[in-house]
Amino acid sequence: MPFHRAEILRTIAARLLDLAIHTDGRLRETGNADFAIHPAMYRRDAAYADTLSRRT
């Protein structure tokens, strides 16, 4: 069953936002600075994937 490109990109964006939220939580729970830059990166990539999904 083929999927439409826009649908795939929307799913990618949603999963990246989920990952950002999860990583924010891990940062709060552990205080591990390694988690600090990742949520912003995931949110930026999610916004980009969302933008691409609207162009298809």
- pLDDT of the residue at 56: 72
pLDDT, residue 1, reads 61
CB atoms within 10 A of CB 36: 12
| pLDDT tens digits for range 6-28 | 999 999 999 999 999 999 999 99
- pTM for the full model? 0.88
Q: Are 20 and 46 in contact (CB under 8 A)?
A: yes
